Amino acid sequence: MELTAVTVLLGNFPALARCNFSAYEGEVVLISGANGSGKTTLLRTIAGLVRIHSGSGAVFGVGLRDEVGRRTVRQSVSYLAHGSHLYDDLTVEENLRFIARGTKTDWSDIESMCERMQLPKRIMNLEVAHTSAGQRKKVTLVATLAQGSELVLLDEPHAALDSEAKEIFDRYVAEMASSGATMLVASHDQGRVEAFATRTAEVRGGRVVDQKS
């Protein structure tokens, strides 16, 4: 994927300002930066969720400028966002089944990911509104990772997870990376991500200002 001189406006505010960034197959890129620097907007842009005001961008060779291109990109990436995308009034299982049907993910893949992330079976029939923040995060991780996309965008994946869940998640991400998936991880938990990241990109003022391998 590649962004060239991309500007994204949130209202009149340039959340990304002539931002250049690229990532290639099998890379795990840690995206670091202060609060409000543009990390989340960078990931949302790559996920095809926001319009590009100027510049150009492509994911798997599909342009991000037009609506049809963004729709195609959205279907080919997995994105763990700040919001869980879950419905509070549905149970965990109902949410996961809805996502599985929408993304055409096999239910068996969801089940094995639940086991992998040690999601307790007893919460499957619990409404999401009654789960803890950590449990919700695990459910969202299960839904994101089970899709098996070649480009995975993770925004603060460690937030709200306990130390055991963080270990499990890190091991899984390392495995995914070694199998050739590309991962962009925005995180303040830099020490953890640096352990398996192949590159670090720092975002400041809506631009990627520094990249280190």
Partner 1 sequence: MFKDAWLVASKDLRIERRSRVLTNQLLPFTLVILIIFAFTFDTHPNLLVTLSPGLFWVASLFAMTIALQRSFSLEAENQARDGLLLYGLESAGIFLGKVVAIVIQSAIVELFIGFGIVILYAAPLHEVVFLALSAFTATIGISCVGVVFGAMVTGRSRDSLLPLLIFPVVAPVLLSATKAWEDYVRGKVSLGDPWLGLLVVFAIAFGAVGVLTFGSILEE
CB closer to partner 1, 91 vs 196: 91
Q: How far is the CB of 102 from partner 1 (least distance, A)?
A: 3
CB closer to partner 1, 15 vs 197: 15
Report yes or no: 204 and 37 within 8 Å, Cβ to Cβ: yes
Determine if residue 63 is left, alpha or beta; phi over 0 gives left, psi from -120 to 50 gives alpha, anything else beta: beta
Residue 208, H or E segment: strand 207-212
Residue 90 CA to residue 102 CA, distance in Å, equals: 15
Q: How far is the CB of 77 from partner 1 (least distance, A)?
A: 8
CB closer to partner 1, 27 vs 127: 127
Q: How far is the CB of 88 from partner 1 (least distance, A)?
A: 6
Q: How far is the CB of 210 from partner 1 (least distance, A)?
A: 29
Helix (H, G, I), strand (E, B) or coil at 35: coil
CB closer to partner 1, 78 vs 187: 78
Strand order across the beta sheet in which 28-32 lies: 77-80, 151-155, 182-186, 28-32, 199-204, 207-212
CA angle, corner 106, sides to 102 and 108, nearest 5?
A: 135
CB closer to partner 1, 80 vs 197: 80
Q: How far is the CB of 209 from partner 1 (least distance, A)?
A: 27
Alpha helices in 156-211 (DSSP H): 163-178, 190-194
Helix (H, G, I), strand (E, B) or coil at 112: helix
> Could you write out the DSSP letters of every residue in 63-110?
ESSSHHHHHHHHHHEEEE-SS----TTSBHHHHHHHHHHHHT--HHHH
Q: How far is the CB of 146 from partner 1 (least distance, A)?
A: 13
Binding residues for partner 1, per CB under 8 A? 47-49, 51, 67, 70-71, 74-75, 77, 79, 81-90, 94, 98-99, 101-104, 127
CB closer to partner 1, 2 vs 127: 127
| Of residues 125, 122, 158, 126, the one with CA closest to residue 140 | 158
